[in-house]
Amino acid sequence: MKERYTHKKQLTALVLAALLTGSAFVSCGGSEPETIPAEQNTARTETPPTPETDYLETLPQTGYAGETFTIIGEDTAQRPNFDQGESTGDAFNDVLFHRRILVENLYDIVIEQKSMPDRGSSNNEVQRSVLADESVYDLVSNPFIQGSAVLMVNNLLRDMKTLPTVDFGNDWWAQNVVEHFMVNDRMYLTTGTLSPSYFLSATAVLYNTELAAQYQLGDLPALVQEGGWTLDAMQSMMQTSTHDLNGDGVIDEKNDLIGAITTSESGRALFVAAGGTLIEKQGDTYMLDMASARNVDIMDTLHGIFADALDSAYWVADSITSGKNDVFEQNHSMFTVTTLMFVSAELRDMEMDYGILPLPKWDTAQENYITPGNPFCPCAVCVPKTCSNPELTGLVLETLAYLGHRDVQPVMYDTVLKGKVARDQSSAAIMEIIYADVSFDFNSAFDLSGTMTALRSYVVGSTDNFISTYESKKTAARTELDKILGQMQELTE
């Protein structure tokens, strides 16, 4: 085993050396340089451009003599957090595997991956080790809801702002999460390209490209780029697409074409993408006002789109854990609003081609497209308070996150779109929009007294009156919020 490890270390060194000297090979090739007249020589050779430095070169070049760095987290085939321990030929697995080996060789460490079947068992093991004062785990990656957020309020985590090397202002950390979960200038959980499930947590819209052409929906990626991909535009296209294909006078999702499929979790995402707020934060103050005039306008509009059932939309019961995109895969819906983890798991064998879009904006005046993350995906990273080597932990976190941004993200584009990005640059541009900043909020992490669940059920038409439900829950929700904030005030190192 040691011989294999040394070989990989030498190989990594050679690859890095090749990357660093690539410009020298370029300058030595080709034909003889053009002769430059003396009078032009000064103007054209003033100051050569500074070669771009890879971020890895700016990080501490420290060795840790084979020390073990252990990551624990929920990890399943649908919601992966780890590579499979070897190169398998699957592009996503292999880029994760090579990222881990590169970090091991850079810092002379061994990264151990402890895969857990669900968030509950992962949380229980972290809690057991911390309460026993054992320094077993250096990093945790669990869902926000019922996962890392629970570890945070139970005072089991370390303030990650105290970790050396980590710069949470970098693009590979989700900036809205850094802002939203920073309390009392402390941060106990966050997310970003460090976690493989971060990529899979994003919610987006897929469309059937052949059907879109048949029904003359136009150039949808161009519409996105122009800022015109809005709820009104999507609803209009859903209505245009809905057809009674077998002529029996009844719209049937198994035999006809409907506008879209979604789930209530994606309903929450559509609400947030249109500018709705489950909770607002100003400084260290959280404000819960889900029944504001703007929120009600957005949720009522969405409810009006999806509550008409098979006239233009169809949703899947949340109790279904697989096959959420079956109707779309079988070419019976124009759109699917879905978390990307279901795309990776369920649409690999879809015969018709599909494209990807961000979730629609409320209107053209909305400045940016917003990509909410699914809080049930195990991407909320945190550090147990018994972590014994904060210097190593900070270095590994920053390196994994940077490499996730540099190496893993482009592979994820092709994984989601079955290699289409390599031949279609408009798809790459859309993926950049989707991954600009995947967002999570405090109420998605805690579902305060069920208010988040009530909202998402109303949006997709599963229930008919959010306001009365919210009025019955808001006092308990605010009490729960105050309790959580009080617990966070008391967190200690």
CATH of the domain at 368: 3.40.190.10
In a domain, 40, yes or no: no
Instruction: Using the 3D structure, point to which of 432, 447, 480 is the last residue of a domain.
Output: 432
pLDDT at 39 over 80: no
Assigned token pair, 191: 């997310």
- Which neighbouring-strand residues pair with 282? 285
User: Where residue 319 falls among pLDDT bands split at 50, 70, 90?
Assistant: low
Q: What percent of the chain has pLDDT over 90?
A: 72
Give the pLDDT band (50/70/90) at residue 348.
confident
Q: Is residue 388 part of a domain?
A: yes
CA angle 449, 283, 271 (to 5 degrees): 45
> What's the length of the chain?
493
**What is the pLDDT averaged over residues 191-195?**
96
For residue 272 the two structure tokens come to: 């947030």
Q: Is the pLDDT of residue 306 over 90?
A: no
Residues 120, 239: one domain? no
Task: Specify the pLDDT at position 370.
Answer: 97
Instruction: Check pLDDT > 50 for residue 468.
Output: yes
The whole-number average pLDDT for the span 82-106 is 96
For 345-396, strand residue ranges (E) read 354-357, 380-382
Q: Which of 438, 441, 472, 466 is closest to 454 using CA atoms?
A: 466
Question: Is 5 inside a domain boundary?
Answer: no
Which pLDDT score is estimated for 489?
85
Are 66 and 184 in the same domain? yes
Is it the case that residue 349 has pLDDT exceeding 80? Answer: no
Give phi and psi for 436, each to the nearest 5: -60, -40
Residue 100 lies in a domain: yes
Looking at the structure, do residues 213 and 185 belong to the same domain, yes or no? Answer: no
Residues 363 and 381 in one domain: no
> What letter would DSSP give residue 157?
B
Domain extent for 163: 59-199+375-432
Which residues are 95's β-sheet partners?
none
Averaged pLDDT, 185-202: 95
Residue 15 lies in a domain: no
| Whole-angstrom distance, CA of residue 20 vs CA of residue 40 | 31
Measured CA to CA, the distance from residue 305 to residue 467 in angstroms comes to 18
Query: What is the predicted pLDDT for the residue at 252?
Result: 85
Q: What is the pTM of this model?
A: 0.86
Q: How many domains does the chain have?
A: 2
Same domain as 404, residue 256? no
3-state helix, strand, coil in the chain (%, to 5): 50, 15, 40
Within 290-401, strands assigned E span 313-315, 333-339, 354-357, 380-382
Residue that is written with structure tokens 């289409």 in the block: 420
Residue 134 within a domain: yes
Nearest to 277 by CA among 300, 255, 299: 299
Amino acid 313: pLDDT: 82
Predicted confidence band of residue 421 (pLDDT cuts 50, 70, 90): low
Of 105-114, 170-179, 260-269, 312-321, least confident by mean pLDDT is 312-321
Work out the average pLDDT over 263-288.
94
Q: How many CB atoms lie within 10 A of CB 402?
A: 24
pLDDT at 318 > cutoff 80:
no
Residue 109 falls inside a structural domain? yes
Q: What is the mean pLDDT of residues 16-27?
A: 35
What is residue 272's predicted lDDT score, i.e. its pLDDT?
97
Q: Do both 122 and 105 map to the same domain?
A: yes
- Map residue 242 onto helix, strand or coil: coil
Any bridge partners for residue 339, and if so which? 203
